[in-house]
């Protein structure tokens, strides 16, 4: 699974760390490949934004190992699910998809959470303060919990084979 936002330093690293934590708690981390990338290359190689790392830490997660990377065309082949954090990322991913099947791999993160699906976009907290980063964390956590509930049965079935 590849979570995709703009620069891969705020929203998508949060989603990556949170979903990895959920998979670890369920004992399924080794059965699921989770990364995050950005549509742009502005921050490649950098850590997540310090406010992202701080928000994750306030909620019991360690995001300090993250290094930003750019989405690559081969990710369409490498991943079954490409999770966009907002509609602009969704458009970029669908437009770049080499096949209709690859375009079908793209989904908005909030679409997995019925309570938040109507919002469609996780707001970009980059130009905001810690409170907004924490609000974005809560949105992402809720959506990741719903996403994990949906994929967990298939992961368990695959892990038992």
Domain count within the chain: 1
Q: Catalytic residue among 94, 120, 121, 124, which?
A: 124
The pLDDT of residue 117 is 97
Q: What is the CATH number of the domain that holds 115?
A: 3.40.50.2300
Give buried/exposed letters for 107-128 (b at 16+ CB in 10 A, else e). ebbbbbbeebeeeebbebbbee
Sign of the four-CA dihedral 139, 142, 145, 147:
negative
User: Is-catalytic flag, 124?
Assistant: yes
Q: Which of 143, 89, 88 is nearest to 116 (CA)?
A: 143
Using alpha carbons, select from 45, 46, 59 the residue that is nearest to residue 14. 59
Structure tokens at 111: 């679409």
**Do 112 and 22 meet the contact criterion of CB atoms below 8 Å apart?**
no
In degrees, rounded to 5, the angle at the alpha carbon of residue 27 between the alpha carbons of residues 26 and 31 is 110
Please give the pLDDT value at position 157: 84
The model's pTM is 0.96
Give the active site residue among 5, 49, 113, 141. Answer: 5
144 is catalytic: no
Per run of 10 residues, the mean pLDDT along the chain (length 161 residues) is 98 98 96 97 96 98 98 97 98 98 98 98 96 98 98 81 53
* Range(s) of the domain holding residue 66: 2-159
Residue 159 pLDDT:
59
How far is residue 89's CA from residue 104's CA, in Å, rounded to a whole number? 14
Q: Choosing from 10, 11, 49, 144, which is the catalytic residue?
A: 11
5 as an active site residue: the answer is yes
């Amino acid at each position: 699974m590849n979570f995709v936002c703009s620069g891969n330093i705020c929203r998508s690293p949060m989603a990556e760390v949170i979903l990895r934590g959920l998979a670890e708690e369920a004992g399924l981390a080794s059965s699921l490949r989770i990364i995050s990338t950005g549509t742009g290359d502005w921050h490649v190689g950098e850590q997540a934004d310090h406010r992202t790392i701080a928000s994750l830490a306030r909620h019991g997660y360690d995001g300090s190992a993250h290094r930003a990377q750019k989405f690559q065309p081969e990710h369409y082949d490498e991943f079954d699910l490409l999770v966009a954090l907002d509609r602009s990322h969704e458009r970029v991913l669908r437009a770049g998809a080499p096949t209709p099947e690859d375009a079908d791999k793209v989904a908005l993160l909030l679409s997995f959470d019925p309570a938040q699906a109507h919002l469609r976009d996780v707001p970009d907290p980059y130009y905001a303060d810690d409170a907004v980063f924490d609000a974005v964390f809560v949105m992402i956590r809720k959506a990741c919990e719903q996403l994990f509930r949906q994929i967990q049965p298939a992961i368990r079935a695959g892990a038992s084979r």
